[in-house]
């Protein structure tokens, strides 16, 4: 493996890791911003 390629792989994986981390934080913030959770319907409603 060339030295150029061996430097590119950790940079690429680090960039992917940062992108995934930021995307996760944005998703959590969006879900939290929606407000209070609505409770699930009672089981009797689902069983007809």
How many angstroms separate the Cα of 17 from the Cα of each of 3, 14, 31? Answer: 22, 5, 21
**pTM of the full structure:** 0.62
Which residue in this structure is represented by tokens 């792989």? 9
CA angle 28, 33, 34 (to 5 degrees): 105
pLDDT tens sequence across 1-46? 678 888 999 999 999 999 999 999 999 999 888 878 888 878 777 6
Q: How far apart are alpha carbons 6 and 23 in whole angstroms?
A: 27
pLDDT at 23: 98
Query: What does the radius of gyration of the chain's CA atoms come to, in whole angstroms?
Result: 21
């Amino acid at each position: 493996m060339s030295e150029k390629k061996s430097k590119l792989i950790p940079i690429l994986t680090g960039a992917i890791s940062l992108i995934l981390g930021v995307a996760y934080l944005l998703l959590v913030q969006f879900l939290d911003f929606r407000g209070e959770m609505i409770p699930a319907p009672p089981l009797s409603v689902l069983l007809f």
